[in-house]
Homo-oligomer: A and B are copies of this chain.
Amino acid sequence: MDDNQEPKFHRDKEGKIKLIIETFVRLIIEKGYTNVSTNLVAKEAGLSIGTIYNYFKSKEDILHSAFQGTIEDFIDFSDIIKILTTYDYKTTKMLVSKYLANHKEYYQLHKAQDQAIAINQDVFHNYQKNIEDYIRAFSEQVRQSVVQLAKIPAETISNAMMLSTNLLDTLVHQHLFRVSFFENDEEFVDYVTKLFIFTLKLYLKE
């Protein structure tokens, strides 16, 4: 059909993996997790199904990988410092807003994660571990760059951050994917912001 043949092999392992994940995510966003088959992913990615299974053990594995790279890196370092040192409402609100906005943008993807965890939470233990490690490392970094925080035990800080992050994530998921807390986002953000600050104070101040 096409005399101008593409080369058969690209030797681009990384690129392929990325392509598969991206295609998978795109399709999930378009159709929802349960409506995306591995064959469809292959077709849409322009690969054979065998290639998919060369790189991933199973469909679940693809989903899993899709989340390994997405540990939210939209958290601004100086914002966090400000929040931890001053409990500033406005800054916190911005953080919450951003988090919500991100979840709305990738609505279907996060929903897929919700589904996947509900169906098989074991698969996500690693992912969870990664997040915890990330937060722990992040909070240690924060602690070491602010005199005011240095006197608080490392664990206290990371626990407080873990807790508030988990809270934030939970409430956003509930609001978007399950049962809305409020009819408009503005009120929701206000509420979550307050709970977030409340949580931090609760565990950081003694």
Contacts and interface: CB of A to CB of B under 8 A. Distances in A.
The copy count of this chain in the complex is 4
A103 interface: no
* Range class of the A interface residue count: 20 to 34
A171 interface: yes
Contacts of A33: 119
Interface in A127-186: 128, 163, 166-167, 170-171, 174, 177-179, 181
A194 B191 CA distance: 15
B163 A191 contact: yes
Given A118-B115, A118-B119, A119-B118, A181 B166 contact: yes
Contacts of A124: 179
A163 to B, nearest CB: 6
Nearest to A174: B170
A55 interface: no
| Interface-central residue, A124, A178, A202, by most chain B CB under 10 Å | A178
Interface of A: 32-34, 111, 114-115, 117-119, 121, 124, 128, 163, 166-167, 170-171, 174, 177-179, 181, 191, 194-195, 198-199, 202
14 contacts: A32-B119, A33-B119, A34-B119, A115-B119, A118-B118, A118-B177, A121-B177, A121-B178, A128-B179, A166-B181, A167-B181, A194-B202, A195-B195, A198-B198
